[in-house]
Amino acid sequence: MTSSLGAPMPMPFWVGHSLRPRPLVDAGSHVALLDRGLCFEAPGIITGVEAFVMPAASIARRWRMQVWRRLPEEDSGWEVVAQTATLHTPRCVQRGSAPLLEDEHCGHGLQAAGLRLNAADEQHEADEGDENLGDENVGGTLWSQALPEALPVEPGDCLGWSHGEGSGFVAHEVQGGDVAWARVSQLAVGDLIDFSTSVGHAMTGASPRTYSIRACWESRDTLEQLGESEKAEPSTFRCPRALAPTGSEPLWRAPPMLDCRGHGFDPAWSVLRHKMLAETQEGRLYSEELVELAEDVMLGLPLDNQTFLSSNIEDFELSISGMQRHEEELAMQGFCLFGLVAAAFVRAMFFIQRSQHEGTAYEMLHFGSMLLGLSKAARDFLESSWWPLRSSDFISQLQRRGLPSAGVRKIEQGPWWPSPDLHSSMVAQASGAEGMLLDALHPCSSSSCVVGCGAEEAVVGHAVVLRPLVDAAYDLSFVDASLCSSRSSVLRRLRVYTRSRGEARAPPGVEGMALQIWRPTLTEDDFGELRAFTLVSETELIAAPRVGLHEFVIDSLALSIGDCIGWRYAPSARGAITYSEADDAPLVLWHRGAAPVGDLQFFPNGGRRVYSLSLAFDGVVVECIPKLAVADQPAAVLDLGAALHALAAASLRLAPEMSNVRSIRVAALGDHVTGTLEPSSMVQETLKRAGLYVDMRYFGHPCPEDARARYHCTLRCELLGACGEDDAIARWLTHALDYNDFAERNTSWNTLESALSSAIVDDEFLSAEADVFVCGHPGVLCVILASVIAPRPLVVYLQSTLLYGAPGCGRCHQPGHTLRYFESDQAHDYLRRFRKAAGSQSVAVLTNVPFSSMQVWYQTGVITQSVPNQAIYVAARWIGPFSESLFLPRSSFYQTSMGRNFVALLANFMDMHRLPLRLDLQVKGGAYLSHAEMAQRRAALLVPHDLGIHTFNVLYRMGMPLFLPDRNWAFRLQSAMPSGFTAYGGALPDEEPGPDGRPLACLRAQVPFSPWLDVDASAVEVEYWHGYSNAATFPHIQHFDSIPSLLSELHRTDLVTVSALMHGFSARLLDVALERYAAALSRSLDGGAASGVDSSGCSNANSECGAAKPTHGSELVDGGSEWE
């Protein structure tokens, strides 16, 4: 907001005292009060008042507010210079038989609606039955009043108020303040009162009182900005109303359906909760008494009735949003979802802590996870209730023993109650090593690698996960031609994932499987393909009690050079190893029947398959380096002035004939409007600072066919100036990528390259005029573009996984999985082409988030610098501290079950506590908000749907306070909506040399996990990679772990101060970002002379390339362990 002269208008702010409970209220009637501690230093207007009010025996029904001005040369004489019309008192705090919430005059945050103050003697929730609180327990409430007309104030004026018949209602204490008072029958503007000696008044005086009251001051120019309708009906004021009393930490009451309290719920749930709270706070093991309570409540419900469970869980979700169909029926059945979850956890932990009945214990844990819907985090809001339990408690217990926290997503459609079928279907699908040859057992040697690839054991084979297929035949012997050793070694352990052979059979175990060692043998007939093997050795039959993930210890099964791994199913085996098929999968051979050790066996049948099998062998001990700390590998940071000077010199060498014109032509390509605008605006700003005129033109950005995403067309027109039909680059993108399903088309590199080359040739600017190219998203466009335009300068800004849209997907997407894993030869060739482009002297690669740098490094060995989005194209700045609108930007999170339930539950909390907030939820296909409109909101509640989203940086650039889920939400968000960055997996083989000549396995040994995630990812993995997101590494972000903690953060955060800190950090970060862009442009324009990444992909600042890896980015700005 600005004044008529164009200068920034002062924001509205509160003047007065903290709104907290105080012990006293005024007892007398017809009292006028002057608060000489509530005075004003600048001219303006008072538009509203807020107070903490207390109940009284006979509260005054009417009152007025006054502005008082000291008389000249008088110590105690004051004049009423402005006064409101008669106002109504907050009747909701009156004693008596009237309802507590009587009418619209009631304040928000009334304790009867659930708010409790965190007093020293009240650290627990309120007693049951709050709906019938007695008068003595009301305890006061916040109350806000917009004045019917603004009161003008001048410097030195002070605020006062008066009430008629009845007692006062504003809480106060006799210390700290300066309040004068007088008994008066009425007051009018112009009245004079000497509060110490007034003649004719029954009583006057002064006291050091402090009242819980404050006034909203605004600039007088505010009236000029209001429309006529707003002036005529000023029902609101622009100071942000308090969410809870100040000076106290509120304990927010959860809605009844979470805590199972109040009318209709069995009191046994409250007894269980209080007992569980007490034992948890004492930090002791669950007692037998608590377990008996848990068993009693569980036995009281028909848990073997699937319809009962399913219908009541559905009603629970409906009740969150206030849409429950039959509340009385639900309550009368005694169903308490979170109570049932807690009871299952109590029983499980009682057995686990005493090492008793562990099978039953894990059935209980699985049952609880199913009730919470952990596979999609649908009902995962335990931390917002008063149950002393979190979903992470379930997850840690399950994953500690290799069991799943969620399981395959289809399982949630099955039975709710624990059963052998449910248990067997939910056994873990933990990943093993990725498929590789046994030749890679020892990819490092002491002369070629200083980084260890393992310790005394090497793991080879394929990912041990649930795959869609299983062998139906019996009595078969197999050999995997890809698992043939080039060294002598000893087999120690075997991991497999098994499934039932048929739906009609009960879930079986593996009743008979032997691991075999086969030696390839040439015969006299010498078949074209080697299909003859001699059985060297085999294990005894291996048996397991169930299907699922298994790990077996093998008693020293020896291999010689050239030996291959195989296995045999016994005729009675009902389970088999799961597998998937692909054209580029390893060759697996099989034959029917068994063979004695030493016999030659022909394998007439074969197919391209990947089996869920991995093996651990004795390996060579190699030296391992410890995992690098975040700040151990600082990248070189250039001086901005020197970087711009080098850039200017490089541009002259590019086109010396332009030395007088000093202009440069830039082509910016991509499919995402802000994804292209980010690097192009930074390139433009950097070149301008180097003294160059920039001719920037945009290409690509097809208009989506999906009507819900058509706002991208509006963005393209408004931000890029491209308002016409799709150009040739846009048409190439729609043919290369499926934007409806966001899936890869099965297109080869040659086809994509040829089509893009034709599109560029057909455009005069692209083919002949552009001096520099900038490529944003997708990565496949940038990699192919580098090949087509080489050796012309190119700056690539990676903002998502390299593999999105890449050739070679094949069957990378398997049913039951969220990970698209690229392991084909085409995919490997594509990654090699990226590595070649990144090493080119005319190409510079930057990334928008530290995770992207880590993923590229892990996949290819190339080190790229991370430069977070600067969003300098955003001109709007946050002006919303006075708003009561909480902004929820677009996110795919809100399209998930968890997202919908989260918003509904938040609205439920707000409504129950009568908070002065409203949710401004932006949904796909909804109204488009400009940056200026966004900046008017109070704050942003952002639930990131990926590790490096643009919205985060846009809002940060505005200085809008950001409230994000805490790190412990990372796992549940990954379950609800897998991150796009981590949903694509695949890398060059471990044994392939990296840019420095050492095997890539040497680099990868520095991190504990692969940088991609599937449905079976552990919470540790998810949280580890979350630590490389911008949301986790930027300072001045407010975090919450529950809805109550979100409300508390909104209540206590100084939004204006936080915004100022965000602006300061953005300014410092921009300088560093410009340095890196200047270095990148210098590299591409001048053949890499000023590069921060040399042609080998290694940081120039690190002399030992083999030990280098990207960091969180802590080197960007001095002063901390994150970005700052």
Taking residue 120's Cβ as centre, other Cβ atoms within 10 Å add up to 5
pLDDT score of 101 = 33
SS3 state at 1100: coil
Q: Give residues with Cβ within 8 angstroms of 230, minimum separation 6.
A: none
pLDDT score of 106 = 42
pLDDT one-digit tens code per residue, 227-284: 444 444 444 567 878 887 776 677 788 888 898 887 778 889 999 999 999 998 887 7
- pLDDT confidence of 905, banded at 50, 70, 90? very high
pLDDT score of 197 = 58
pLDDT one-digit tens code per residue, 594-642: 888 988 888 888 888 888 888 877 643 322 222 222 222 333 334 566 6
Q: HEC profile for 159-174?
A: EEEEECCCECCECEEC
Q: Please check whether residue 935 is in contact with residue 960, taking contact to mean a CB–CB distance below 8 angstroms.
A: yes
pLDDT one-digit tens code per residue, 298-356: 888 888 777 888 888 888 888 886 655 444 444 435 689 999 999 999 999 988 888 77
Contacts 24+ apart (CB under 8 A), 472-475: 472/501, 472/502, 473/592, 474/569, 474/570, 474/571, 474/572, 474/573, 475/569, 475/570, 475/571, 475/592, 475/593, 475/594
Q: Cα 956 vs. chain centroid, distance in angstroms? A: 16
* pLDDT > 90? residue 35: yes
pLDDT score of 200 = 47
- pLDDT confidence of 772, banded at 50, 70, 90? very high
Q: Please check whether residue 668 is in contact with residue 701, taking contact to mean a CB–CB distance below 8 angstroms.
A: no
pLDDT score of 334 = 63
pLDDT score of 1095 = 33
- pLDDT confidence of 1110, banded at 50, 70, 90? low
Most distant pair of Cα atoms in the chain: their distance: 131
- pLDDT confidence of 152, banded at 50, 70, 90? very high
Q: What are the b/e assignments for 819-851, b being 16+ CB within 10 Å?
A: bbbbbbebbbebbebbbbbbbbbbbbbbbbbbb
Which segment of 549-563, 1016-1030, 1057-1071 scores lowest on mean pLDDT? 549-563
Interior angle at CA 1037, CA 1036 and CA 1040, nearest 5: 140
pLDDT one-digit tens code per residue, 433-464: 222 222 222 233 333 333 333 334 566 777 66
Report the share of the chain in percent with pLDDT over 70. Answer: 72
By residue count, the chain amounts to: 1124
pLDDT score of 709 = 58
pLDDT score of 156 = 92
Q: Please check whether residue 928 is in contact with residue 1015, taking contact to mean a CB–CB distance below 8 angstroms.
A: no
SS3 state at 986: coil
Q: What are the b/e assignments for 317-355, b being 16+ CB within 10 Å?
A: bbbbeeebeebeebbebbbbbbbbbbbbbbbbbbbbeee
Residue 1079 to residue 1091: CA distance in whole angstroms: 6
- Edge-to-edge, what's the strand order for the sheet holding 1038-1040? 918-921, 885-888, 939-941, 962-965, 1038-1040
Backbone phi, then psi, for 1121, in 5-degree steps?
-95, 0
Cα–Cα distance list, 732 to 612, 709, 725, 785 (Å):
38, 19, 14, 12
Q: Give residues with Cβ within 8 angstroms of 929, minimum separation 6.
A: 922
Residue 1087 to residue 685: CA distance in whole angstroms: 21
The tokens of 862 are what?
């190339």
The tokens of 133 are what?
């609180």
Q: Please check whether residue 37 is in contact with residue 178, taking contact to mean a CB–CB distance below 8 angstroms.
A: yes
Mean pLDDT of 112-125: 30
pLDDT one-digit tens code per residue, 153-189: 999 999 999 988 888 888 899 988 899 988 888 889 9
Which segment of 283-287, 507-511, 932-936, 962-966 scores lowest on mean pLDDT? 507-511
pLDDT score of 697 = 92
* pLDDT > 90? residue 832: yes
The tokens 């078949």 sit on which residue?
527
Give the residue with greater pLDDT, 889 vs 722.
889
Which segment of 113-117, 276-280, 759-763 scores lowest on mean pLDDT? 113-117
Crossing angle of helices 779-789 and 749-761, in 10° steps, is 70
Residue 859 to residue 873: CA distance in whole angstroms: 32
pLDDT one-digit tens code per residue, 675-716: 899 999 999 999 998 888 899 999 988 887 665 556 667 777
pLDDT score of 74 = 63
SS3 state at 491: strand
Mean pLDDT of 935-956: 92
Q: Is the dihedral of CA 314, 316, 317, 319 positive or negative?
A: positive
Distance from the first to the final alpha carbon of the chain: 31
1082 torsion bin: left (phi>0), alpha (psi -120 to 50), beta (else): alpha
Mean pLDDT of 6-21: 73
Residue 30 to residue 753: CA distance in whole angstroms: 87
Q: Cα 264 vs. chain centroid, distance in angstroms? A: 37
- C-alpha closest to that of 417 among 475, 459, 461, 370: 370
pLDDT score of 290 = 93
Residue 390 to residue 1019: CA distance in whole angstroms: 14
SS3 state at 420: helix
Backbone phi, then psi, for 782, in 5-degree steps?
-70, -40
Give the residue with greater pLDDT, 859 vs 115.
859
Please give the full DSSP string across 182-221, using - where no structure is assigned: EE-S---TT-EEETTT-TT-S-EEEE--EESEEEEEE-TH
pLDDT score of 38 = 92
Interior angle at CA 271, CA 269 and CA 273, nearest 5: 70
- pLDDT confidence of 988, banded at 50, 70, 90? very high
Q: Please check whether residue 11 is in contact with residue 881, taking contact to mean a CB–CB distance below 8 angstroms.
A: yes
Pick from 68-77, 332-341, 388-397, 943-952 the range whose average pLDDT is largest: 943-952
The tokens of 1087 are what?
């053949």
pLDDT score of 803 = 92
* pLDDT > 70? residue 669: yes
Q: Please check whether residue 430 is in contact with residue 464, taking contact to mean a CB–CB distance below 8 angstroms.
A: yes
Q: Please check whether residue 622 is in contact with residue 454, taking contact to mean a CB–CB distance below 8 angstroms.
A: yes
Half-sphere exposure of 515 (CA within 13 A, CB side): 25
Q: Is the dihedral of CA 861, 862, 863, 866 positive or negative?
A: negative
Give the ranges where 629-670 is alpha helix by DSSP (H): 640-654
Residue 981's H or E segment, with its range, is none
Residue 1005 to residue 625: CA distance in whole angstroms: 8
- pLDDT confidence of 416, banded at 50, 70, 90? very low
Give the ranges where 207-305 is alpha helix by DSSP (H): 221-225, 228-232, 256-259, 267-282, 288-299
Mean pLDDT of 1097-1108: 36
Q: Give residues with Cβ within 8 angstroms of 1031, minimum separation 6.
A: 942, 944, 947, 952, 964, 1037
- C-alpha closest to that of 681 among 692, 670, 696: 696
Classify strands 575-581 and 564-569 as parallel, antiparallel or unpaired: unpaired
User: How many helices and strands (H and E) does the chain possess?
Assistant: 29, 44
pLDDT score of 531 = 77
